[in-house]
């Protein structure tokens, strides 16, 4: 995400208190274990009710019909999953919308709605630990965005053009389809969406064709790189498409809403060069497709939706395109373990724009760093880059974050830092990782104890001492 206009916000202590109430039920030790209900939360320390326990999704196959005039969405979701405990019931997340029917393994299943967004499904027969199962959910309604007082508007949103799109962090998917809405459960995502003929659609992954139906035209999109649910998207508008290819054949599809400025299209035309550059820093591009979705809406953020970032109407510049595509390595392919780890996404994507500026625009990073440190107000140092509190995740990561990584490159040594930057994504490809894991990996590669550095810059607040502020050649000139 990049949210340059977001202001500092306060921590919602009540959300933190909730984090103590949820655990993940574990299977018993007797055989497959007595079937018990799956947990209604994914166990995140900030958003404990997002996601669920007891199963692992491998694929979502979603068929949707959407009517821009009435805002009505009708969906048929097929969830392919494997039980990780023997389940008497399990939950999916769905905010609003009406569930019409549920089948599990081909048989009608009972369901109830509880809490803010829980669908509790009781299959006719228990699901056995280790075995795959399939749930099919029919639903309909008018999707509504989540208005978070701290994090803004997330999820399904309508555009002034009459179209719509889905985007948001930490969650979005739950506003338009039934899902295990935690970044810890990644799955492939196959979408067939039918809209009236005059509307266009762009989604994640590769184009898999379109065909005429009674209700309009069905557009099929296939994302075969496992996606965290909030990285999935769809956007409906009267798009102009631009198609390119990377040298290795990876398809690039970019979609521009009517009114997109030429300079934005010119910036996106450099995407092959941007991906080549990022690959030279972060290792092989980890996603099966690329591109971008350029809204005309002046929304408050751009987001690194998988393979195809979605851009605010006011953000179509090279720096933002570099930032969101850097996330394909740092944030998408390697997702957070918990939301408290979000610096692993934002600090790195922000630092990618420093590296781009250095290599492509001749920026002197030492000067940039020292100028920033010299001019930083107290508020710059006031927050941590780890476990910053729910609602406060994005306050310091864009400013203090890249500054910290530049200092780390000098404290570790440039060669070790470059190696970590380039090998970490492959180490956790399609997975999740924590800040502590990153620290330990950086220590292993550099053969240095980095605890003091991480305490000063990442786990703590306040201006670091000179040892950590001016490592290596970052010492300012005397006098």
Closest separation between CB of residue 150 and Zn ion, Å? Answer: 17
The Cβ-side half-sphere exposure at 354, using a 13 Å CA radius, reads 24
Of 394, 90, 76, 47, give the one whose Cα is nearest residue 228: 47
Distances (CA, A) of 308 to 78, 209, 257: 23, 17, 14
Q: For Zn ion, give the closer residue by CB, 355 or 416.
A: 355
Of 419, 424, 430, 185, give the one whose Cα is nearest residue 286: 430
Distances (CA, A) of 38 to 18, 51, 427: 18, 11, 30
Q: For Zn ion, give the closer residue by CB, 2 or 340.
A: 2
Q: How far is CA 341 from the centre of its chain?
A: 12
Query: Is position 416 an interface residue for Zn ion (rule: CB under 5 A)?
Result: no
Q: Which two tokens stand for residue 248?
A: 């290795």
Piece of 1-9, 263-271, 289-297, 354-362 that binds Zn ion (CB under 5 A): 1-9
Closest separation between CB of residue 311 and Zn ion, Å? Answer: 12
Closest separation between CB of residue 68 and Zn ion, Å? Answer: 29
Q: For Zn ion, give the closer residue by CB, 121 or 349.
A: 349
Q: How many residues bind Zn ion (CB under 5 A)?
A: 4
Q: For Zn ion, give the closer residue by CB, 83 or 299.
A: 299
Q: For Zn ion, give the closer residue by CB, 303 or 416.
A: 303
Closest separation between CB of residue 347 and Zn ion, Å? Answer: 9
Q: How far is CA 86 from the centre of its chain?
A: 30
Q: For Zn ion, give the closer residue by CB, 237 or 346.
A: 346
CB 156 within 8 A of CB 140: no
Q: For Zn ion, give the closer residue by CB, 1 or 119.
A: 1
Given candidates 2, 95, 171, 410, which one binds Zn ion under the rule CB under 5 A?
Answer: 2
Query: Is position 1 an interface residue for Zn ion (rule: CB under 5 A)?
Result: yes
Closest separation between CB of residue 256 and Zn ion, Å? Answer: 21
Q: For residue 62, list its beta bridge partners.
A: 77, 191
Number of neighbouring beta carbons within 10 Å of residue 474: 17
CB 139 within 8 A of CB 178: yes
**Rounded CA gap, 315 and 208, in Å?**
28
Q: For residue 2, list its beta bridge partners.
A: 302
Q: For residue 130, list its beta bridge partners.
A: none
Query: Is position 267 an interface residue for Zn ion (rule: CB under 5 A)?
Result: no
Closest separation between CB of residue 439 and Zn ion, Å? Answer: 21
Residues numbered 338 to 367 that lie near Zn ion (CB under 5 A) are 346, 349
Closest separation between CB of residue 345 and Zn ion, Å? Answer: 6
Q: Which residues bind Zn ion (CB under 5 A)?
A: 1-2, 346, 349
């Amino acid at each position: 995400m990049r949210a340059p206009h977001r202001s500092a916000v306060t921590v919602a202590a009540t959300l933190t208190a909730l984090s103590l109430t949820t655990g993940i039920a574990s299977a018993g030790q007797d055989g497959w274990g007595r079937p018990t209900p799956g947990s209604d939360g994914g166990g995140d320390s900030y958003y404990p009710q997002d996601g669920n326990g007891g199963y692992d999704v491998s694929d979502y196959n979603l068929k949707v019909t959407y009517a821009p005039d009435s805002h009505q969405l009708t969906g048929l979701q097929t969830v392919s999953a494997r039980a990780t405990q023997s389940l008497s019931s399990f939950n999916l997340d769905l905010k609003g919308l009406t569930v019409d029917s549920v089948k599990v393994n081909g048989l009608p299943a009972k369901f109830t709605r509880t809490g803010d967004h829980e669908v509790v499904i009781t299959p006719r027969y228990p699901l056995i630990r280790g075995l795959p199962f399939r749930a099919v959910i029919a639903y309909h309604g008018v999707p509504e965005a989540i208005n978070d007082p701290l994090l803004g508007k997330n999820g399904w949103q309508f555009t002034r053009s009459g179209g719509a799109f889905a985007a948001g962090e930490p969650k979005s998917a739950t506003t338009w389809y039934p899902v295990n809405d935690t970044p810890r459960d990644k799955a492939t995502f196959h979408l067939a969406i039918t809209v009236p003929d005059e509307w266009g659609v762009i989604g994640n992954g590769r184009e898999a064709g379109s065909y005429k139906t009674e209700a309009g035209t069905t557009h099929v999109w296939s994302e075969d790189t496992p996606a965290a649910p909030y990285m999935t998207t769809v956007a409906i508008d009267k798009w102009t498409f631009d198609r390119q290819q990377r040298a290795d054949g990876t398809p690039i599809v970019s979609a521009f809403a009517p009114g997109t400025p030429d300079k934005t299209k010119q910036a996106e035309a450099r995407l092959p060069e941007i991906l080549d550059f990022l690959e030279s820093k972060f290792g092989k591009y980890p996603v099966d497709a690329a591109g971008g979705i350029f809204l005309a809406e002046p929304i408050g953020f751009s987001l690194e939706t998988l393979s195809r970032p979605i851009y605010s109407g006011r953000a179509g510049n090279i720096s933002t395109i570099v930032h969101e595509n850097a996330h394909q390595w740092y944030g998408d392919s390697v997702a957070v373990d918990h939301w408290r780890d979000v610096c692993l996404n934002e600090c790195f994507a922000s630092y990618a724009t420093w590296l781009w500026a250095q290599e492509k625009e001749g920026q002197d990073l030492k000067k940039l760093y020292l100028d920033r440190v010299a001019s930083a107000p107290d508020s710059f140092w006031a927050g941590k880059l780890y476990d910053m509190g729910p609602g406060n995740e994005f306050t310091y990561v864009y400013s203090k974050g890249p500054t910290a990584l530049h200092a780390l490159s000098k404290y570790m040594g440039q060669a070790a830092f470059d190696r970590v930057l380039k090998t970490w994504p492959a180490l956790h490809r399609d997975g999740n990782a924590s800040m502590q894991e990153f620290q330990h990996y950086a220590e292993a590669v550099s053969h240095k104890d980095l605890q003091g550095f991480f305490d000063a810059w990442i786990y703590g607040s306040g201006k670091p001492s000179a040892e950590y502020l001016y490592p290596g050649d970052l010492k300012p000139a005397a006098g």
